[in-house]
């Protein structure tokens, strides 16, 4: 799942909340200052039924404030679940938009749509990563009902199988730790349905891979120890690279800041990939999985690598495009994911 494509467009609801609640209430001046209060009407997008009328809304109120007021009347719909827009065909309004900057008169009409139950991106990432970790280990330890009963709780006699388990677990533990401590996830939430879709994919492919790698009839790689070692070195190299990029992206801007910056190579040699590629974290991720495929010589792993490559290319192209549009002096040497190729 893409954490960092969203860093490029930072939607920071928390900041605007702070802004609106920590606004110091000025002492009312002696002469009456005319504040033009807005009237806000919230209408259901599909049925056009009038849901709520708010009068005396401050002109400096943000969309998030209005969502909070809306929730008071309809407690079920928390702000992350609300989508407000000025026109049924227009785009959804951002939480930090201020009421008086919107193209409305003093009576504003918002169309409301329920986005359904929402989950934070962090929750989804963790679920996506914990699943494969546990599932792979279930196959590794030959838990009952997976393979033939005579193999229950046995251990594989091939060294590469143990190595593959260590690498797979290392990869997902690293991802979990990064989600908890390194990534700055700027996007708020996603619909509940997504967790089933995403987790379903990650968990099923993990099970499919783990089944064959840990199978009692597993065949070791054709070129033997040399192939295993090559795969392992590529995997480790790319894991370190991937981590370096995540740290570099985290250090790119201070927490809570919304300014977007172009990432540049730092003193860490792994970040020198930034000279050639906009999204080196994806490049390294693909590299890791290629290493793992070579190490295990397993078709399901190759399939997973291919699908991951296609998905990450789509994300990388999107991010590369938004960088190029955002910054006039964006380095022209950079490709999106594969140096000089893609």
Partner 1 sequence: MASSEEDGTVEEKENNNKRRTKSALATAWLTFYNIAMTAGWLVLAIAMMRFYIQKGTRKGLYRSIARTLKFFQTFALVEVGHCAFGIVKTSVIVTGVQVCSRIFMVWFITNSIRQIQNEESVILFLVVWTMTEITRYSYYTFNLLHLLPYFIKWARYNLFIILYPLGVAGELLTIYAALPFVRRSGMYSMRLPNKYNVSFDYYYCLIVFMLSYIPLFPQLFLHMLRQRRRVLHGEVIVEKDD
Site residues, partner 1 (CB under 8 A) = 46, 113, 212-213, 215, 217-219, 222, 296-300
* Cα–Cα distance list, 79 to 42, 62, 118, 213, 309 (Å): 14, 12, 10, 45, 35
**Sign of the Cα pseudo-torsion (26, 30, 35, 39, in order):** positive
* CB 11, min distance to partner 1, A: 21
Total residue length of the chain: 342
By beta-carbon proximity to partner 1, the closer residue of 62 and 293 is 293
* CB 298, min distance to partner 1, A: 4
Q: What tokens does 200 get?
A: 């379903």
Order of strands across the sheet that contains 50-57: 50-57, 38-44, 107-114, 82-85
* CB 191, min distance to partner 1, A: 9
* CB 297, min distance to partner 1, A: 6
By beta-carbon proximity to partner 1, the closer residue of 39 and 114 is 114
Q: What tokens does 4 get?
A: 């960092």
Contact 135, 207 (CB under 8 A): yes
How many other C-beta atoms can be found within 10 angstroms of the C-beta atom of residue 312? 21
By beta-carbon proximity to partner 1, the closer residue of 78 and 212 is 212
* CB 334, min distance to partner 1, A: 30
By beta-carbon proximity to partner 1, the closer residue of 208 and 243 is 208
By beta-carbon proximity to partner 1, the closer residue of 273 and 301 is 301
By beta-carbon proximity to partner 1, the closer residue of 194 and 268 is 194
**Sign of the Cα pseudo-torsion (312, 317, 321, 324, in order):** positive
Which residues lie across from 212 on neighbouring strands? none
Nearest of 298, 162, 297 to residue 224 by alpha carbon = 297
How many other C-beta atoms can be found within 10 angstroms of the C-beta atom of residue 185? 15
* CB 232, min distance to partner 1, A: 17
């Amino acid at each position: 799942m893409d954490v960092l494509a969203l860093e490029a467009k930072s939607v920071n609801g928390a900041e605007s909340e702070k802004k609106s609640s920590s606004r110091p209430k000025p002492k009312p001046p002696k002469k009456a200052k005319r504040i033009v209060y807005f009237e806000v009407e919230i209408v259901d997008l599909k049925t056009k039924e009038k849901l709520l009328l708010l009068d005396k809304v401050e002109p400096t109120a943000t969309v998030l404030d209005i969502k909070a007021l809306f929730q008071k009347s309809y407690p079920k719909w928390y702000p992350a679940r609300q989508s407000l827009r000025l026109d049924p065909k227009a785009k959804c309004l951002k939480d930090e938009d201020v009421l008086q900057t919107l193209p409305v008169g003093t009576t504003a009409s918002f169309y409301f749509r329920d986005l359904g139950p929402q989950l934070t991106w962090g929750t989804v990432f963790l679920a996506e990563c914990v699943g494969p970790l546990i599932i792979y280990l279930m196959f590794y330890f030959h838990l009952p009902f997976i393979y033939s009963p005579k193999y229950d709780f046995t251990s594989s006699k091939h060294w590469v199988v143990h190595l593959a388990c260590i690498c797979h677990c290392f990869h997902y533990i690293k991802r979990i730790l990064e989600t908890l401590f390194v990534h700055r996830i700027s996007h708020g939430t996603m619909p509940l349905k997504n967790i089933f879709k995403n987790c379903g994919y990650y968990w099923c492919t993990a099970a499919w891979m783990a089944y064959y790698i840990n199978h009692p009839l597993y065949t070791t790689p054709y070129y033997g120890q040399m192939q295993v070692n090559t795969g392992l070195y590529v995997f480790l190299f790319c894991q370190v690279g991937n981590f370096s990029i995540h740290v570099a992206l985290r250090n790119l801007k201070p927490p809570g800041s919304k300014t977007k910056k172009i990432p540049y190579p730092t003193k860490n040699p792994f970040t020198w990939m930034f000279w050639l590629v906009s999204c080196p974290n994806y490049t390294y991720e693909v590299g890791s999985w290629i290493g793992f495929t070579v190490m295990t010589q397993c078709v399901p792993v190759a399939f997973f690598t291919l699908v991951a490559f296609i998905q990450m290319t789509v994300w990388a192209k999107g991010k590369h495009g938004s960088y190029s549009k955002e910054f006039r002096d964006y380095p022209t040497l950079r490709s999106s994911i594969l140096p000089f190729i893609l």
